[in-house]
Chains A and B, each alone.
Chain A
Amino acid sequence: MATQAEIDTQSEEAAFREEVKQFLAENFPPELKGKSNALASVEGPTNENDAQAKWRKAMGSRGWGTPTWPKEYGGGGLSRKQARILNEEMAKVGAFNPIGGMGVMMFGPTLLEYGSEEQKKEHIPPICRGEIRWCQGYSEPNAGSDLANLQTMAEDKGDHYLVNGQKTWTSGGQWADKCFCLVRTDRSDKHKGISFLLIDMDTPGVEVRPIQMISGMSPFCETFFTDVKVPKENLVGEEGQGWTIGKRLLQHERTNLSGGGAMARLMGASMSDIAKKHLEVGEDGELADKVMRDRIADFEIRWNSFLLTARRATEESKAAGGVSDIASVLKKLGTKLGQERAEMLIEIMGYQALGWEGEGFSDAELAGTRGWLFGKATTIYGGSTEIQNNIIAKRVLGMLDHQ
């Protein structure tokens, strides 16, 4: 027998499910069914059609694109359980979340934790509505893995900071409205001299130059700051607290880059299904190439173990109530497996997986080529695999630097 409290929650849940169903019936444009969220990606310009715009506005006005964020700042204010119901119902009708990008993945959660009341009121609602695109101004030519070596200077000029310097690999910089930046406010201390600053990309003195990547896409930029005036109220946290805030943001980034669910969607069909389409199948229904079959099984076993690990990490961190260091382990494992998969698909599909453009290749095949090349970035950005190894060794395993 369920208790009265349980019955109440059950009926609340049922009511919420009804509400979601109705909302989707009224607002989700059927022509978008099964499409993915191109808008949230940093890899392309905004070229929304009417249906996409309508869908983004509908979800944004409810805060349901950021379902568990507080309602007072424009989030959905939903419980985890409700967020899951929302996801389930969206999946049933083939709807995607039209709100995303770095604002949702990384900046929003960090600002909610470290920002002032005014900053949250100003910046979080437009993220929830999907109106503002954020980019990440961390890396510099001489500050990649050694991020704390950054040199972009923000000089205190009383009512504003004067920013000079150069960022690089700024993903989506050319399409972004704003940039969350790590800048140097003090040259005398490597880590404590760093501050977390928000910069409007249309401020005079900000210049972006897109760089073409091996995949043919140009989603990332060199960003130059020349005497850029940034109001003081755009400093997040205290001056000198930037390293702490910046690292927390990176934890969110890693968690997002490695989440099993996201990876699973990325992967699409199982490798064995693809192989059965492209390779010879014997009378027994098994792949005729036994070496390939063995390698596919090896991959799929490890891939399943990874998914189980991602699930286990989620359950554990929920039970323990916090972000866990396992984020580094997941990022390292998931990105490696993703790359391995892309390389194996080339072996399975042969030349058909190496098309660049034009006739003779399906859209999916061409996307596969680009995905394979772009995928090489996954073990570099968000802290390279080597840096994750350092984090695991030092922070998780306690293999410290002894002098």
Chain B
Amino acid sequence: MAVLTEEQEMLRDMARDWASNESPVTEFRKVRASGDPKAYDEGAYGKMADMGWTGVIVPEEHGGSDFGWLSAGLVVEELGKTLTASPLVATTVAASAIILGGSDEQKAKYLPRLASGEMVATLAVDEGPRHAPETIETSVSGGKLSGTKAFVHEAHGADLFVVAAKDGLYLVEKGEGVSLSTRKMTDQRSHAEVTFEGAGADKLEGGGDGLLEDVLDRARILTAAEMLGMAQAVFDTTLDYLKQRVQFNQVLATFQALQHRMADLFGDLAMMRSAVEGGLQALDSGFGVARAASIAKAEANRVLHTMSREGIQLHGGIGMTDEYDVGFYLKRARILENAWGSTSYLRDRFARIGGY
């Protein structure tokens, strides 16, 4: 864990307490059982907003606390541990697009509402099942945006979409010209194909040519923070389980074959944590972000992938049951691995940034 300021420690502790007391995995089970396509508890999201989490990266003048990305990552990590279903990551990333590229007017119009939790937003980029921001077809003419975004996270709760079109990023409000078709996916969260047909669109003019990539890097890093929480949780539960379960008249944790696998996973987890925190710190310092984001998400993908597989294997048969939580992490893990760049996509990007 990075060395934290007192403020950050308080924020982390608060998130940890809230997640373990108010939002354990049983809460996610309730959301799942409700069948609500929004797939999150609005009351719970309201509480997150009250605690200031929705405004962590938003400047103070627009109603946020401007604590920075490392702080945002700390909260998201804690929520990742308990699989808390909420549009916090999506909204934070969308807010960052407005902070980077919005006009004063756009900022004043949206940021306070995002920071207060009154409004939920999400990023809509990809048009197929794989992350491919270079092949966007969505276009705008006369202020009207048309195109189809294939898999949009948190689409059902979103009041505002930050949409990638051929010539830049646009803000599109829910309403006329925007229709959703639900995509039920393994993680049982909100995903939809979103079709825009002549929807009113307001361009983010600032932020330069690299705006989309800058926003995607924020999405990559914050998603990696959620994945870090998940990996940590799988590791911790697996370790606990091995310390309880008796076979051959011995607690499983005493078997060296299993000890060494846990030691390997522990080493991987250390690397993942460093990579993710490195990404968050790069965002706060504004230095080397593209490279740090590739490292953070690629490591998050690699380690959570292994962790989620090993987690089930080491639990044995019980790990295959829906009654047991560990499988939920596997299902969410693959969704997030695909978000904003698979492992091979990110390696390719890392190599290009490195000039080879």
Chain A interface residues (CB < 8 Å from chain B): 270, 272-273, 275-276, 281, 285-287, 293-294, 296-298, 300-302, 304-306, 308-309, 311-312, 315-316, 319, 326, 329, 332-333, 386, 388-390, 392-394, 396-402
Contact = CB atoms under 8 A, between A and B. Distances in A.
Given A272-B355, A275-B356, A301 B350 contact: yes
Contacts of A305: 271-272, 274-275, 278, 295, 299
B1, B258, B274, B348 pick with most chain A CB within 10 angstroms = B274
A389 B272 contact: no
Interface string B320-356: 0000000000000000000000001011101110111
B260 A393 contact: yes
B266 A390 contact: no
A312 B253 CA distance: 28
Contact of A399 (B262, B274, B295, B347): B262
Contacts of A306: 271, 274
A272, A276, A304, A305 pick with most chain B CB within 10 angstroms = A305
Interface string B246-270: 0000110110101110111011001
Contact-size category for B: 35 or more
Interface in B1-27: 1-3
B295 A272 contact: no
Contact of A302 (B262, B271, B278, B351): B271
Question: What does DSSP make chain A's interface, helix, strand, loop or mixed?
Answer: helix
B305 to A, nearest CB: 13
A333 B295 contact: no
Contacts of A275: 356
B148 to A, nearest CB: 31
Given A392-B267, A393-B259, A393-B263, 19 more contacts: A281-B356, A294-B344, A297-B350, A300-B350, A301-B275, A301-B347, A302-B302, A305-B275, A305-B299, A329-B267, A389-B260, A390-B263, A393-B260, A393-B262, A396-B266, A397-B262, A399-B239, A399-B253, A399-B259
A61 B344 CA distance: 54
Given A286-B356, A301-B347, A399 B242 contact: yes
Given A294-B344, A296-B351, A389-B263, A315 B2 contact: yes
Contact of A308 (B263, B274, B298, B346): B274
B188 to A, nearest CB: 31
B298 to A, nearest CB: 5
A275 B266 CA distance: 31
A312 B274 contact: yes
Given A305-B272, A315-B3, A389-B264, A402 B251 contact: yes
Interface string B29-60: 00000000000000000000000000000000
26 contacts: A270-B354, A272-B351, A273-B356, A285-B356, A294-B344, A296-B356, A301-B275, A302-B271, A305-B271, A305-B272, A305-B275, A306-B274, A308-B278, A309-B273, A312-B277, A333-B270, A389-B259, A389-B263, A390-B256, A392-B267, A393-B260, A399-B243, A399-B253, A399-B254, A399-B258, A402-B253
B190 interface: no
A386 B347 contact: no
B259 A394 contact: yes
Given A294-B348, A305-B275, A308-B275, A319 B259 contact: no
B243 A398 contact: yes
B295 to A, nearest CB: 5
Given A272-B351, A326-B270, A390 B259 contact: yes
Contacts of A401: 254
Contacts of B223: none
Contacts of A316: 1, 3
Contacts of A392: 262-263, 266-267
B354 to A, nearest CB: 5
A4 B273 CA distance: 39
Nearest to A302: B271
Nearest to A290: B348
A392 B259 CA distance: 8
Nearest to A287: B356
A397 B235 CA distance: 11
B342 to A, nearest CB: 12
A392 B347 CA distance: 30
What 5 pairs across the A-B complex have the smallest Cβ distances?
A393-B259, A308-B274, A389-B263, A297-B347, A309-B274
A298 B347 contact: yes
Contacts of B295: 301, 304-305, 308
A397 to B, nearest CB: 6
Contact of A397 (B3, B256, B263): B263
A270 B254 CA distance: 41
A298 B351 CA distance: 9
A195 to B, nearest CB: 30
A92 B138 CA distance: 53
B270, B344, B348, B356 pick with most chain A CB within 10 angstroms = B356
A399 B254 CA distance: 6
A69 to B, nearest CB: 26
B294 interface: yes
A131 to B, nearest CB: 39
A399 B242 CA distance: 8
A332 B274 contact: no
A144 to B, nearest CB: 17
Contacts of B277: 308, 312
A325 B250 CA distance: 27
B351 A285 contact: no
Given A272-B355, A389-B263, A329 B347 contact: no
A400 B253 contact: yes
